[in-house]
Amino acid sequence: MTNRDRVLGLGVVVLWGLNFLAIRVGLDHFPPFFFAGLRFAVIAVPVLIFVPRPQVPWRWLLLYGVGFGILQFAFLFTAMREGMLTGLSSLVLQSSAPFTVLLGAVFLRERLRGIQLAGIAVALAGMGVIGWDRSHHAALLPVLLTLAAGLGWAFGNLGSRLAAAESAGPAVNPLHLTLWMAVVPPLPMFALSALTEGPATGWHDLAASFSMSGWPAFAALAYIVLLGTIAGSGLWTYLMSRYPASTVAPLSLGVPVVGIAASWAFLHETPSALSLVGAAIVIAGAFTATSAGRRTVSTPSSEPRSVPVEPAPRLVEA
């Protein structure tokens, strides 16, 4: 990877790490289900008008949208609204990486290497440390909700992978696929918000966000859409198109480092020492589980050639 692209990768890490601060600001103003729907609706409207739909089966696009867009953010935003620390949520959400590896083995019959199984075991042990620590602070439920968000994200990863594998015609543009995923969540999330949060609550809060007291929430929404999603995902897609997934994906393990540091600095959230130990264990395990990379094998009839192993699942922004 060139120095320029390393700088771009670190820029994405910073954008996504700070994205959790924007989510916290937004959740202080909007109810969680409405905020999740609003986040995707702002993207979905121009996508429907200007971006051609990728020629992929609808069932996999829906799985991508339901897993990544609905399940992930319904659980994550609820967890943060229920007291999950902002920085810690950026870490626990990385559980999507070992979950993706496991789901790939179960549903796609992808072969797991021993090093991946060891990494998954280490990551799960780290999650256990965090859960045990949080349970002693009467805050286990937000951790479990965030783990459910990671599992939802993992199902979304399967949908994305299957959509790309079964595309009709030319290769799928990854950015177009990501943008069209945003078309799926808004209506279900708004319906869920109306049923559980009240039919007018979110819209009233949206109107209030245009006032002098509500502008931080509007600014947070703008950051999530423009910088966290469009700029961050665009740069990430560019890097993924130039380098192997095993080279790019580990960069995102810096996201919780930025998220924890930023929440510590700006929100005065101080995670316990035990939670930080668990965080380090999770990052080490996730890195191991998603760094299978490529290996070289020899064939009788040709020179040694590189045969790709299943690519590492993307660890991407919230």
Q: What is the predicted pLDDT for the residue at 304?
A: 38
Among the residue ranges 34-43, 89-98, 221-230, 241-250, the one predicted with the least confidence is 241-250
* Lookup: tokens for 15: 């954008």
The pLDDT of residue 293: 45
SS3 at position 56:
coil
> φ and ψ at 73, to 5 degrees?
-85, -25
Domain locations in the chain as residue ranges: 3-294
Residues in the chain: 318
The beta strands (E) that lie in the chain are given as 294-297, 305-308
With 0-12 / 13-18 / 19 or more C-beta atoms within 10 angstroms meaning exposed / middle / buried, residue 109 is: exposed
Q: Please choose, from the candidates 292, 284, 236, 271, the residue with its C-alpha nearest in 3D space to the C-alpha of residue 13.
A: 236
CA–CA separation, 126 and 98 (whole Å) = 12
What confidence score (pLDDT) does residue 247 get?
66
HSE value, Cβ hemisphere, 13 Å, CA-based, for 99: 23
- For residue 301, the model assigns a pLDDT of 39
| Among the listed residues 110, 98, 99, the one whose alpha carbon sits nearest the alpha carbon of residue 310 | 110
Nearest-10 crossing angle of helices 273-289, 255-266: 160
Convert the pLDDT of each residue in 141-154 to its tens digit.
898 999 999 999 98
- 201: which 2 tokens? 């609550």
| Two tokens, residue 253 | 């393990």
- pLDDT at res. 138: 52
Lowest-pLDDT choice from 95-99, 142-146, 239-243:
239-243
Contact 246, 312 (CB under 8 A): yes
